[in-house]
Amino acid sequence: MITTTESIVSQGRRARRAGKALAHCSTAQKDRALQNIADALLDNQPAILAANELDIEASREMGLSDSLLDRILITGARLESMAADVRSIAMLPDPVGQVFDMHTRPNGLQVGKKRVPLGVVGSIYENRPNVTIDISALCLKSGNACILRGGKEAVNSNRLLARLVQEAIEDAGIPRDAVQLVGDTDRRLVSAMLQMNDYIDLMIPRGGAGFIRFVSENATMPVVAGGVGVCHTYLDRTASLDMAVDIANNAKTQRPTVCNALDTLLVHAEIAATHLPAVARKWSEVGVEMRCDERAMSLLAPLDGLKLKLAEPEDYGTEFLSLVAGVKIVDSLDEALEHVDAHGSGHSEAIVTEDYSTATRFLEEVDAAAVFVNASTYFCDGAQFGLGAEVGISTQKFHARGPMGLQELTSYKWIILGSGQIRT
Protein backbone atom coordinates (compact mmCIF):
# COMPACT_ATOMS: atom_id res chain seq x y z
CA MET A 1 0.00 0.00 0.00
CA ILE A 2 1.40 3.39 -0.96
CA THR A 3 0.05 6.54 0.61
CA THR A 4 1.46 9.71 -0.88
CA THR A 5 1.15 13.08 0.79
CA GLU A 6 -1.51 13.81 -1.77
CA SER A 7 -3.57 10.80 -0.85
CA ILE A 8 -3.38 11.60 2.87
CA VAL A 9 -4.75 15.07 2.11
CA SER A 10 -7.54 13.37 0.23
CA GLN A 11 -8.18 11.27 3.34
CA GLY A 12 -8.45 14.52 5.27
CA ARG A 13 -10.92 15.96 2.82
CA ARG A 14 -13.06 12.84 3.02
CA ALA A 15 -12.87 12.84 6.81
CA ARG A 16 -14.04 16.46 6.90
CA ARG A 17 -17.05 15.56 4.77
CA ALA A 18 -17.87 12.43 6.75
CA GLY A 19 -17.49 14.39 9.99
CA LYS A 20 -20.16 16.84 8.89
CA ALA A 21 -22.57 13.96 8.34
CA LEU A 22 -21.60 12.22 11.59
CA ALA A 23 -22.14 15.42 13.58
CA HIS A 24 -25.85 15.17 12.86
CA CYS A 25 -26.31 11.40 13.26
CA SER A 26 -28.72 10.37 15.98
CA THR A 27 -27.54 8.81 19.21
CA ALA A 28 -29.37 5.61 18.26
CA GLN A 29 -27.50 5.39 14.98
CA LYS A 30 -24.10 5.96 16.63
CA ASP A 31 -24.87 3.38 19.31
CA ARG A 32 -25.93 0.88 16.64
CA ALA A 33 -22.59 1.45 14.90
CA LEU A 34 -20.77 0.80 18.19
CA GLN A 35 -22.68 -2.43 18.79
CA ASN A 36 -21.84 -3.48 15.21
CA ILE A 37 -18.14 -2.88 15.93
CA ALA A 38 -18.28 -5.00 19.09
CA ASP A 39 -20.02 -7.79 17.17
CA ALA A 40 -17.47 -7.60 14.36
CA LEU A 41 -14.56 -7.94 16.79
CA LEU A 42 -16.01 -11.15 18.19
CA ASP A 43 -17.24 -12.55 14.87
CA ASN A 44 -13.85 -12.07 13.22
CA GLN A 45 -11.67 -13.39 16.00
CA PRO A 46 -9.76 -15.95 13.88
CA ALA A 47 -8.89 -13.38 11.18
CA ILE A 48 -7.87 -10.76 13.75
CA LEU A 49 -5.65 -13.18 15.66
CA ALA A 50 -4.07 -14.29 12.36
CA ALA A 51 -3.31 -10.72 11.31
CA ASN A 52 -1.92 -10.02 14.76
CA GLU A 53 0.25 -13.12 14.52
CA LEU A 54 1.90 -11.61 11.41
CA ASP A 55 2.69 -8.49 13.43
CA ILE A 56 4.04 -10.48 16.34
CA GLU A 57 6.27 -12.56 14.05
CA ALA A 58 7.64 -9.53 12.22
CA SER A 59 8.23 -7.71 15.51
CA ARG A 60 9.99 -10.72 16.99
CA GLU A 61 12.25 -10.83 13.93
CA MET A 62 13.00 -7.14 14.46
CA GLY A 63 14.15 -8.10 17.95
CA LEU A 64 11.47 -6.30 19.98
CA SER A 65 11.49 -6.99 23.71
CA ASP A 66 8.95 -9.29 25.33
CA SER A 67 7.21 -6.35 26.99
CA LEU A 68 6.81 -4.59 23.64
CA LEU A 69 5.59 -7.80 22.03
CA ASP A 70 3.04 -8.06 24.82
CA ARG A 71 1.76 -4.59 23.97
CA ILE A 72 1.19 -5.62 20.35
CA LEU A 73 -0.37 -8.99 21.20
CA ILE A 74 -4.12 -9.55 20.76
CA THR A 75 -5.59 -12.62 22.47
CA GLY A 76 -9.14 -13.92 22.56
CA ALA A 77 -9.57 -12.50 26.04
CA ARG A 78 -8.20 -9.10 25.00
CA LEU A 79 -10.55 -9.05 22.01
CA GLU A 80 -13.49 -9.71 24.31
CA SER A 81 -12.36 -6.91 26.56
CA MET A 82 -12.06 -4.54 23.56
CA ALA A 83 -15.59 -5.44 22.50
CA ALA A 84 -16.88 -4.91 26.04
CA ASP A 85 -15.26 -1.47 26.16
CA VAL A 86 -16.98 -0.50 22.91
CA ARG A 87 -20.34 -1.64 24.27
CA SER A 88 -19.79 0.38 27.42
CA ILE A 89 -19.12 3.49 25.32
CA ALA A 90 -22.44 2.83 23.59
CA MET A 91 -24.10 2.92 27.03
CA LEU A 92 -22.71 6.38 27.92
CA PRO A 93 -24.85 9.49 27.46
CA ASP A 94 -24.35 11.27 24.14
CA PRO A 95 -22.64 14.62 24.79
CA VAL A 96 -23.63 16.06 21.40
CA GLY A 97 -26.65 18.36 21.48
CA GLN A 98 -26.59 18.91 25.25
CA VAL A 99 -27.69 22.47 26.01
CA PHE A 100 -26.19 24.13 29.08
CA ASP A 101 -25.79 27.50 30.80
CA MET A 102 -29.09 28.57 29.17
CA HIS A 103 -30.46 31.68 30.79
CA THR A 104 -32.61 34.68 29.95
CA ARG A 105 -31.00 38.09 29.62
CA PRO A 106 -32.74 41.25 30.91
CA ASN A 107 -33.82 42.04 27.32
CA GLY A 108 -35.55 38.69 27.01
CA LEU A 109 -32.90 37.00 24.85
CA GLN A 110 -32.38 33.38 25.79
CA VAL A 111 -28.64 32.71 25.65
CA GLY A 112 -26.94 29.36 26.18
CA LYS A 113 -24.51 26.85 24.79
CA LYS A 114 -25.06 23.71 22.78
CA ARG A 115 -22.46 20.99 22.71
CA VAL A 116 -21.08 20.06 19.26
CA PRO A 117 -18.33 17.75 18.01
CA LEU A 118 -14.87 19.19 17.37
CA GLY A 119 -14.91 17.90 13.77
CA VAL A 120 -12.01 15.63 12.82
CA VAL A 121 -9.67 14.14 15.42
CA GLY A 122 -6.26 12.86 14.41
CA SER A 123 -4.30 10.39 16.48
CA ILE A 124 -0.77 9.11 16.03
CA TYR A 125 0.11 6.27 18.33
CA GLU A 126 2.55 3.50 18.83
CA ASN A 127 2.26 -0.22 19.13
CA ARG A 128 -0.99 -1.11 20.94
CA PRO A 129 -3.64 -2.05 18.35
CA ASN A 130 -6.53 -1.68 20.81
CA VAL A 131 -6.01 2.10 20.56
CA THR A 132 -7.42 1.83 17.03
CA ILE A 133 -10.68 0.56 18.48
CA ASP A 134 -10.75 2.80 21.58
CA ILE A 135 -10.26 6.07 19.73
CA SER A 136 -12.60 5.08 16.90
CA ALA A 137 -15.33 4.31 19.40
CA LEU A 138 -14.92 7.47 21.48
CA CYS A 139 -14.76 9.66 18.38
CA LEU A 140 -17.85 8.03 16.89
CA LYS A 141 -19.91 8.53 20.02
CA SER A 142 -18.81 12.16 20.32
CA GLY A 143 -19.66 12.80 16.65
CA ASN A 144 -16.09 13.26 15.43
CA ALA A 145 -14.54 11.72 12.37
CA CYS A 146 -11.04 10.41 13.00
CA ILE A 147 -7.83 9.73 11.12
CA LEU A 148 -5.66 7.16 12.84
CA ARG A 149 -2.02 6.42 12.30
CA GLY A 150 -0.81 3.46 14.31
CA GLY A 151 2.73 2.17 14.59
CA LYS A 152 4.24 -0.11 11.96
CA GLU A 153 4.64 -2.93 14.51
CA ALA A 154 0.86 -3.47 14.52
CA VAL A 155 0.10 -2.53 10.93
CA ASN A 156 -1.57 -5.79 9.92
CA SER A 157 -3.77 -5.78 13.01
CA ASN A 158 -4.65 -2.12 12.56
CA ARG A 159 -5.53 -2.48 8.89
CA LEU A 160 -7.94 -5.29 9.60
CA LEU A 161 -9.44 -3.61 12.68
CA ALA A 162 -9.98 -0.36 10.77
CA ARG A 163 -11.64 -2.21 7.89
CA LEU A 164 -13.98 -3.99 10.29
CA VAL A 165 -14.86 -0.67 11.93
CA GLN A 166 -15.58 0.90 8.55
CA GLU A 167 -17.87 -1.96 7.55
CA ALA A 168 -19.60 -1.87 10.95
CA ILE A 169 -20.38 1.83 10.82
CA GLU A 170 -21.44 1.70 7.20
CA ASP A 171 -23.99 -0.95 8.20
CA ALA A 172 -25.39 1.63 10.62
CA GLY A 173 -25.66 4.25 7.86
CA ILE A 174 -22.59 6.24 8.89
CA PRO A 175 -20.10 7.09 6.12
CA ARG A 176 -17.10 4.74 6.27
CA ASP A 177 -14.79 7.73 5.87
CA ALA A 178 -15.72 8.78 9.40
CA VAL A 179 -13.01 6.37 10.62
CA GLN A 180 -9.88 6.19 8.50
CA LEU A 181 -6.55 4.54 9.05
CA VAL A 182 -3.37 5.80 7.44
CA GLY A 183 -2.40 2.30 6.38
CA ASP A 184 1.06 3.24 5.17
CA THR A 185 3.56 3.53 8.00
CA ASP A 186 6.06 5.73 6.15
CA ARG A 187 7.27 8.20 8.75
CA ARG A 188 7.02 11.13 6.35
CA LEU A 189 3.25 10.81 6.54
CA VAL A 190 3.39 11.80 10.22
CA SER A 191 4.85 15.16 9.19
CA ALA A 192 2.25 15.48 6.44
CA MET A 193 -0.56 14.81 8.96
CA LEU A 194 0.78 17.49 11.29
CA GLN A 195 0.44 20.07 8.48
CA MET A 196 -3.22 19.24 7.85
CA ASN A 197 -4.88 21.85 10.04
CA ASP A 198 -7.48 22.41 7.34
CA TYR A 199 -8.72 18.87 7.84
CA ILE A 200 -7.78 17.86 11.39
CA ASP A 201 -9.11 19.89 14.32
CA LEU A 202 -7.30 18.16 17.16
CA MET A 203 -4.26 15.91 17.28
CA ILE A 204 -3.85 13.33 20.03
CA PRO A 205 -0.34 11.85 20.08
CA ARG A 206 0.21 8.79 22.25
CA GLY A 207 3.70 7.55 22.93
CA GLY A 208 6.90 8.49 24.68
CA ALA A 209 7.84 11.95 25.92
CA GLY A 210 10.11 12.73 22.94
CA PHE A 211 7.46 11.79 20.42
CA ILE A 212 4.80 13.89 22.15
CA ARG A 213 7.15 16.88 22.24
CA PHE A 214 7.87 16.43 18.52
CA VAL A 215 4.15 16.44 17.72
CA SER A 216 3.45 19.45 19.98
CA GLU A 217 6.18 21.50 18.37
CA ASN A 218 5.39 20.58 14.76
CA ALA A 219 1.63 20.30 14.60
CA THR A 220 -0.27 23.14 12.95
CA MET A 221 -3.50 22.16 14.73
CA PRO A 222 -4.19 22.07 18.50
CA VAL A 223 -2.55 19.15 20.26
CA VAL A 224 -3.54 17.51 23.50
CA ALA A 225 -0.26 16.54 25.05
CA GLY A 226 -0.09 14.20 27.94
CA GLY A 227 0.89 10.84 29.11
CA VAL A 228 4.13 11.66 30.91
CA GLY A 229 3.60 11.22 34.62
CA VAL A 230 6.28 11.93 37.21
CA CYS A 231 4.00 11.32 40.19
CA HIS A 232 4.62 11.84 43.90
CA THR A 233 2.98 10.49 47.02
CA TYR A 234 3.71 12.54 50.13
CA LEU A 235 3.31 10.93 53.53
CA ASP A 236 2.56 13.81 55.87
CA ARG A 237 3.54 14.04 59.55
CA THR A 238 -0.02 12.97 60.46
CA ALA A 239 -0.42 10.17 57.89
CA SER A 240 -2.12 7.01 59.14
CA LEU A 241 0.40 4.19 58.97
CA ASP A 242 -1.92 1.64 57.38
CA MET A 243 -3.23 4.10 54.84
CA ALA A 244 0.28 5.24 53.97
CA VAL A 245 1.42 1.67 53.30
CA ASP A 246 -1.69 0.75 51.32
CA ILE A 247 -1.64 3.85 49.15
CA ALA A 248 2.10 3.94 48.49
CA ASN A 249 2.04 0.25 47.70
CA ASN A 250 -0.97 0.46 45.40
CA ALA A 251 0.39 3.50 43.56
CA LYS A 252 3.79 1.90 42.97
CA THR A 253 3.15 -1.78 42.46
CA GLN A 254 -0.39 -2.42 41.21
CA ARG A 255 0.59 -1.51 37.63
CA PRO A 256 4.04 0.03 37.53
CA THR A 257 4.11 0.55 33.73
CA VAL A 258 1.36 3.18 33.62
CA CYS A 259 1.71 6.95 33.77
CA ASN A 260 -0.21 7.40 37.03
CA ALA A 261 2.10 5.08 39.00
CA LEU A 262 4.15 6.48 41.87
CA ASP A 263 7.64 7.65 40.95
CA THR A 264 8.86 9.35 44.11
CA LEU A 265 7.78 8.84 47.71
CA LEU A 266 8.19 11.88 49.96
CA VAL A 267 8.10 11.19 53.70
CA HIS A 268 7.87 13.72 56.53
CA ALA A 269 10.91 13.39 58.82
CA GLU A 270 8.78 13.03 61.98
CA ILE A 271 7.14 9.80 60.80
CA ALA A 272 9.92 8.47 58.62
CA ALA A 273 11.18 6.03 61.27
CA THR A 274 7.82 4.23 61.39
CA HIS A 275 6.24 4.76 57.97
CA LEU A 276 9.19 4.44 55.62
CA PRO A 277 10.35 1.00 56.81
CA ALA A 278 6.74 -0.21 56.67
CA VAL A 279 6.36 0.91 53.05
CA ALA A 280 9.80 -0.47 52.19
CA ARG A 281 8.95 -3.89 53.60
CA LYS A 282 5.72 -4.00 51.65
CA TRP A 283 7.49 -2.92 48.45
CA SER A 284 10.21 -5.50 48.99
CA GLU A 285 7.61 -8.26 48.54
CA VAL A 286 7.59 -7.49 44.81
CA GLY A 287 11.16 -6.28 44.57
CA VAL A 288 10.80 -2.50 44.27
CA GLU A 289 14.18 -0.81 43.95
CA MET A 290 14.36 2.31 46.13
CA ARG A 291 16.59 5.25 45.15
CA CYS A 292 17.02 7.02 48.46
CA ASP A 293 18.35 10.34 49.67
CA GLU A 294 20.98 9.99 52.42
CA ARG A 295 18.54 10.24 55.31
CA ALA A 296 16.24 7.60 53.91
CA MET A 297 19.25 5.42 53.17
CA SER A 298 20.50 5.56 56.75
CA LEU A 299 17.02 4.61 58.00
CA LEU A 300 16.60 1.71 55.60
CA ALA A 301 20.13 0.35 55.24
CA PRO A 302 19.96 -1.68 58.48
CA LEU A 303 16.91 -3.60 57.20
CA ASP A 304 17.26 -6.89 55.35
CA GLY A 305 15.94 -7.78 51.91
CA LEU A 306 15.53 -4.29 50.43
CA LYS A 307 16.88 -3.13 47.06
CA LEU A 308 18.46 0.22 47.92
CA LYS A 309 20.57 2.70 45.96
CA LEU A 310 21.59 6.24 46.67
CA ALA A 311 19.51 8.54 44.47
CA GLU A 312 21.16 10.53 41.69
CA PRO A 313 19.70 14.02 41.22
CA GLU A 314 17.98 13.00 37.95
CA ASP A 315 16.12 10.15 39.67
CA TYR A 316 13.74 12.73 41.15
CA GLY A 317 12.45 13.89 37.76
CA THR A 318 12.20 10.43 36.20
CA GLU A 319 9.08 8.56 35.14
CA PHE A 320 10.27 5.05 35.97
CA LEU A 321 7.42 2.97 34.46
CA SER A 322 8.88 0.04 36.39
CA LEU A 323 9.42 -1.24 39.93
CA VAL A 324 11.77 1.61 40.84
CA ALA A 325 10.95 4.53 43.14
CA GLY A 326 12.73 7.63 44.33
CA VAL A 327 12.52 8.16 48.09
CA LYS A 328 13.17 11.38 49.96
CA ILE A 329 12.68 12.58 53.52
CA VAL A 330 11.41 16.15 53.86
CA ASP A 331 11.11 18.37 56.92
CA SER A 332 7.88 20.13 56.11
CA LEU A 333 4.87 20.41 53.85
CA ASP A 334 6.59 23.38 52.23
CA GLU A 335 9.58 21.27 51.30
CA ALA A 336 7.27 18.60 49.87
CA LEU A 337 5.37 21.19 47.83
CA GLU A 338 8.62 22.65 46.50
CA HIS A 339 9.86 19.21 45.52
CA VAL A 340 6.62 18.41 43.68
CA ASP A 341 6.68 21.80 41.95
CA ALA A 342 10.29 21.32 40.84
CA HIS A 343 10.10 17.69 39.75
CA GLY A 344 6.48 16.78 38.99
CA SER A 345 5.14 16.66 35.44
CA GLY A 346 1.72 18.02 36.37
CA HIS A 347 0.03 14.62 36.11
CA SER A 348 -1.08 13.01 39.42
CA GLU A 349 0.05 13.94 42.94
CA ALA A 350 -1.11 12.55 46.27
CA ILE A 351 -0.87 13.32 49.96
CA VAL A 352 -1.64 11.00 52.85
CA THR A 353 -2.59 13.06 55.88
CA GLU A 354 -5.06 13.33 58.73
CA ASP A 355 -4.56 17.09 59.05
CA TYR A 356 -7.30 19.24 57.56
CA SER A 357 -5.22 22.36 56.89
CA THR A 358 -2.41 20.34 55.36
CA ALA A 359 -4.82 18.58 53.02
CA THR A 360 -6.35 21.92 52.05
CA ARG A 361 -2.98 23.48 51.27
CA PHE A 362 -1.87 20.48 49.22
CA LEU A 363 -5.10 20.56 47.18
CA GLU A 364 -4.77 24.31 46.64
CA GLU A 365 -1.08 24.62 45.93
CA VAL A 366 -0.16 21.57 43.89
CA ASP A 367 -0.46 22.40 40.21
CA ALA A 368 -1.30 19.08 38.54
CA ALA A 369 -4.06 17.54 36.48
CA ALA A 370 -5.19 15.41 39.45
CA VAL A 371 -4.52 16.05 43.12
CA PHE A 372 -5.40 13.28 45.57
CA VAL A 373 -5.93 13.28 49.33
CA ASN A 374 -5.76 9.86 50.96
CA ALA A 375 -6.13 7.87 47.74
CA SER A 376 -3.83 6.20 45.25
CA THR A 377 -2.69 8.10 42.14
CA TYR A 378 -3.44 4.91 40.21
CA PHE A 379 -7.09 6.13 40.23
CA CYS A 380 -6.25 8.84 37.69
CA ASP A 381 -8.20 7.38 34.79
CA GLY A 382 -11.32 8.31 32.83
CA ALA A 383 -13.31 5.27 33.87
CA GLN A 384 -12.37 5.71 37.55
CA PHE A 385 -13.37 9.38 37.45
CA GLY A 386 -16.77 8.58 35.96
CA LEU A 387 -16.12 9.44 32.31
CA GLY A 388 -16.68 5.85 31.17
CA ALA A 389 -13.54 5.80 29.03
CA GLU A 390 -10.74 8.09 27.91
CA VAL A 391 -8.74 8.98 24.82
CA GLY A 392 -5.81 9.94 27.01
CA ILE A 393 -4.76 12.02 29.99
CA SER A 394 -3.90 15.65 29.29
CA THR A 395 -1.15 17.30 31.30
CA GLN A 396 -1.83 20.68 29.71
CA LYS A 397 -4.25 23.28 30.99
CA PHE A 398 -5.77 24.32 27.70
CA HIS A 399 -9.15 22.86 26.63
CA ALA A 400 -9.03 19.74 28.80
CA ARG A 401 -6.90 18.63 31.72
CA GLY A 402 -6.56 15.14 33.12
CA PRO A 403 -8.55 12.20 31.73
CA MET A 404 -10.30 13.08 28.46
CA GLY A 405 -13.59 11.37 27.74
CA LEU A 406 -16.46 12.08 25.39
CA GLN A 407 -17.20 15.60 26.62
CA GLU A 408 -13.56 16.62 26.18
CA LEU A 409 -13.87 15.66 22.49
CA THR A 410 -16.54 18.31 22.02
CA SER A 411 -16.84 22.06 21.68
CA TYR A 412 -20.01 24.17 21.88
CA LYS A 413 -21.77 26.87 20.00
CA TRP A 414 -23.68 29.72 21.57
CA ILE A 415 -27.36 29.63 20.70
CA ILE A 416 -29.42 32.78 21.07
CA LEU A 417 -33.21 32.67 20.86
CA GLY A 418 -34.81 36.05 20.36
CA SER A 419 -38.15 37.62 19.58
CA GLY A 420 -36.89 40.48 17.44
CA GLN A 421 -34.34 42.02 19.82
CA ILE A 422 -31.93 44.61 18.49
CA ARG A 423 -28.99 46.17 20.33
CA THR A 424 -28.77 49.91 20.70
User: Would you say 7 or 240 has its CB closer to a second copy?
Assistant: 240
Handedness of CA 182, 184, 190, 196 (dihedral sign): negative
Handedness of CA 200, 205, 211, 214 (dihedral sign): positive
> How far is Cα 113 from Cα 53, in angstroms, rounded to an integer?
48
User: Would you say 15 or 37 has its CB closer to a second copy?
Assistant: 15
Least distance CB 243 / a second copy (angstroms) = 4
Least distance CB 94 / a second copy (angstroms) = 14
Nearest to 317 by CA among 294, 298, 291: 291
User: Would you say 285 or 294 has its CB closer to a second copy?
Assistant: 285
Least distance CB 423 / a second copy (angstroms) = 5
User: Would you say 217 or 304 has its CB closer to a second copy?
Assistant: 217
| Neighbour count for residue 169 (Cβ, 10 Å) | 28
Least distance CB 330 / a second copy (angstroms) = 20
User: Would you say 111 or 297 has its CB closer to a second copy?
Assistant: 111
Nearest to 47 by CA among 160, 133, 129: 160
User: Would you say 68 or 383 has its CB closer to a second copy?
Assistant: 383
Within 13 Å, how many C-alpha atoms sit on residue 224's CB side? 26
| 136: Cβ contacts below 8 Å, ≥ 6 apart | 37, 146, 148, 162, 165, 179
Contact 415, 100 (CB under 8 A): no
Least distance CB 344 / a second copy (angstroms) = 12
Least distance CB 48 / a second copy (angstroms) = 29
Least distance CB 239 / a second copy (angstroms) = 10
- Amino acid identity of 61? E
Helix (H) or strand (E) run with residue 377 in it: none
User: Would you say 251 or 272 has its CB closer to a second copy?
Assistant: 251
Least distance CB 19 / a second copy (angstroms) = 11
User: Would you say 281 or 399 has its CB closer to a second copy?
Assistant: 399
Coil/strand/helix, residue 32: helix
The three-point CA angle 94-369-226 to 5° equals: 80
String of DSSP letters for 145-206 = EEEEE--GGGHHHHHHHHHHHHHHHHHTT--GGGEEE-----THHHHHHHT-TTT-SEEEEE
Least distance CB 240 / a second copy (angstroms) = 7
The three-point CA angle 212-215-220 to 5° equals: 150
User: Would you say 234 or 378 has its CB closer to a second copy?
Assistant: 378
> Can you give the binding site for a second copy, defined by CB under 8 A?
24, 103, 105, 109, 111, 114, 116, 118-119, 201-202, 217, 220, 222, 240, 242-243, 246-247, 249-250, 254, 363-365, 367-376, 378-380, 384-386, 396-399, 401-403, 411-424
